[in-house]
Structure 1
Amino acid sequence: MGGYCGYLANMGALAAGADAAYIFEEQFDIRELQVFDLLTVFGLNCYRNENCNENYTTDFIYQLYSEEGKGVFDCRKNVLGHMQQGGAPSPFDRNFGTKISAKAMQWISKKLKETYRKGKVFANTDDSVCLLGMRRRNLVFQPVAELKNETDFVHRIPMEQWWLKLRPLMKILAKYKTSYDVSDSGQLEHVAMHSPKEAETGAI
């Protein structure tokens, strides 16, 4: 799930204490698939974002780990799919749904009063087409016209994603030697990732 957005894979990996999360926003190659000492590690746990890489598919990674682990460990894959979308709504979900619905209806009622003239509705300004979302714990209406400069429409993701600031935390918890330069916008500008074994042997 998630398309080109690695949010679900990253947060799932962080919550589960995974060893790696392969995402579209942080391009990777075969070296990132080899950073684990597959013959000695126990309980290797990896997450993969739906469209993170055209060639390194879930099947490819599964077959790679299965081959390397022959006689040492078994490998299983699980495509979570719609299970990630959650089950019964929590009290928070219900409360948030009520608040956002009420906010939307208030906005629609206000706009109808502003644009209704002589039996017709004149909705020809930028603020008549808005997206309602949460920013810094506030519900904010933002004109769709403004979002054009902030959105990657090809991949259907924001150009700046706040959750990328959590990537270093996931790598640190997975006990990797990491160095990150994270911009104020949350984008990863430089990434160096090495396994504990590589750091010990100097194979970096």
Structure 2
Amino acid sequence: MASKSSSSLKTLSDLKTIQRTLAEQREREAAEAAARAAAEKKRLAESDLFSRAIGATQPLRRKAAVALSPEPPAPIPVQHQLDEQRVMRESISDDFDVTTLLDVDDAMSFRRPGIGTDVTRKLRAGEWSIQREVDLHGLRSDEARDALGAFVRAAHKAGVRCVRVVHGKGLGSPGKQPVLKTKTQRWLIQKNEVLAFVQAKPAEGGAGALVVLLAPVGK
């Protein structure tokens, strides 16, 4: 009888322990729920305070995006090029009389007034190193004139002092007359950049070429 009573007391004690544990768990859950509710209430209150402070708001309007095309290449100065060509043609005449300016020697040479004979002598002797060359033979007269003018201007601008101009011997011209040779001499004399020229040595083109001395840059 005593054993049965002891067993009943133990069962009752365990039940109370379980009930107490459950009660404590419910209290903790209730406390956590109350804390969460308080935090949410505070968050809502702060959010409402911010909304009242700044007033009504509207979403920002997005500006329409415009697709930009790639930057176009720089325009080619065609008119400027045409003007330069026109000036060059006007500055080099086919009617210019050069007979009084050429030194009629064994190879026909030219030196601008104020340039001594030693200059043409040194040119003929090859004491000036040829730095650039242009080949005109085979071109039409207007093509050769433009090519020569552009060549002389570019060489002078680059600081080149001595060049060779190949005009050919005229063996393929009607009557085998060296028309381009005569015109080349006339054109060169009209170029202010040219100080002097002589017929090239045989190894450098002979009667089919001229060795030309250009003025220093700035002169």
Say whether the fold is shared (TM-score over 0.5).
no
- Structure whose CA Rg is larger: 2
Structure having the higher strand fraction is: 1
TM-score, reference length from structure 1: 0.22
